[in-house]
Amino acid sequence: MADILTVEKRNETGTARMRRLRNSGKVPAVLYGHGQDNVNLVLDARELSAVLRHSGHIVNLKGAVEESALIKDVLWDSVLQQVLHVDLSRVDASEAVEVELTVDLKGTARGTSNGGLLNHVLHEVTILCPAERIPEKLELKILDLDVGQSLRARDIVLPEGASLVTAPESVIVLCSVPAQADETATGVAEPEVIGKKKEEEAGKD
Please state which CATH class domain 3-91 belongs to.
mainly beta
Give the right CATH number for 98-185 from 3.40.630.30, 3.40.50.300, 2.30.110.10, 2.170.120.20: 2.170.120.20
Residues 36, 2 contacting (CB under 8 angstroms)? no
pTM of the model: 0.74
- Give 73-101 pLDDT, tens digit per residue: 999 987 878 899 999 999 987 789 999 99
Would you list the DSSP string of the chain?
--EEEEEEE----SHHHHHHHHHTTEEEEEEEETTEEEEEEEEEHHHHHHHHHTT--EEEEEES--EEEEEEEEEEETTTTEEEEEEEEE--TT-EEEEEEEEEEES--GGGGGT-EEEE---EEEEEEEGGG--S-EEEE-TT--TT-EEEGGGSPPPTT-EE-S-TT-EEEEEE--HHHHHHHHHTTHHHHHHHHHHHHHHH-
Between 191 and 9, the more confident residue is 9
Q: Are 99 and 126 in contact (CB under 8 A)?
A: yes
| Domain residue ranges of the chain, discontinuous segments joined by + | 3-91, 98-185
| pLDDT confidence of residue 201 | 55
100-148 per-position pLDDT tens digit: 999 999 999 999 999 999 999 999 999 999 998 999 999 999 999 999 9
Q: Report CA-CA distances (Å) from 165 to 7, 71, 97, 127, 129.
A: 31, 18, 11, 5, 10
pLDDT in tens, 9-34: 998 888 888 889 999 999 999 999 98
